Structure 1
Amino acid sequence: MAKSTLISHGRVAENRKARFNYSIEDTIEAGIALVGTEVKSLRLGRATISDAFAQPEGSEFFLINCHIPMYPGGGKVQHEETRKRRLLLHKKQIGQLAASIQREGMTVVPLSLFFNDKGIAKVSLGLAKGRKHQDRREAIKTREWNRQKSRIMRDKG
Structure 2
Amino acid sequence: MAKQKQHSRPLAQNRKASHDYYILDTVEAGVSLTGTEIKSVRAARINLKDGFAQIRNGEAWLQNVHISPYDQGNQFNHDPLRNRKLLLHKKEIMRLEQETSKKGVTLVPLKVYIKHGFAKVLIGIAQGKHDYDKRESIKRRDQEREIQRTLKNY
Short-chain TM bin: over 0.9
Contact 2:104 2:128 in 1 (8 A): no
TM-score by length of 1: 0.91
Alignment partner, residue 5 of structure 2: none
User: What SS is found at the alignment partner of 1:103?
Assistant: coil
Cα distance in 1, alignment partners of residues 94 and 103 from structure 2? 14
After TM superposition, the score normalised by the length of structure 2 is 0.92
List alignment gaps of at least 5 residues for structure 1.
1-8
Q: How does 1:28-47 map to 2 (within 5 A)?
A: 28-47=27-46
Match of 1:144 among 138, 142, 145: 142
5 Å matches for 1:68-87? Answer: 68-87=67-86
Cα shift at 1:104: 4.2
Counterpart secondary structure, 1:145: helix
**Deviation of residue 44 (structure 1)?**
1.2
Q: Is 1:13 matched up with 2:25?
A: no
User: What displacement does 1:152 show?
Assistant: 1.5
Equivalent positions of 1:1-157 (< 5 A) are 9-116=8-115, 118-155=116-153, 157=154
Which amino acid is the alignment partner of residue 87 of structure 1? L
Q: CA shift at 1:10, angstroms?
A: 3.3
Identity of aligned residues (%): 42
Separation of aligned partners in 2, 1:91 and 1:76: 35
How many equivalent pairs are there? 148
Shift of 1:45: 1.2
Distance across 1 between alignment mates of 2:50 and 2:25: 19
Letter in 2 for 1:126: G
Backbone CA RMSD of aligned residues: 1.3
CA distances 1:22-41 after superposition (whole Å, capped 9, x unpaired):
00000110000000000011
Give the secondary structure class of the aligned counterpart of 1:76: helix
Given that 2:63 and 2:84 are in contact with CA atoms closer than 8 Å, whether structure 1 keeps it comes out as: yes
* 1:105 Cα deviation from its structure 2 partner: 3.2
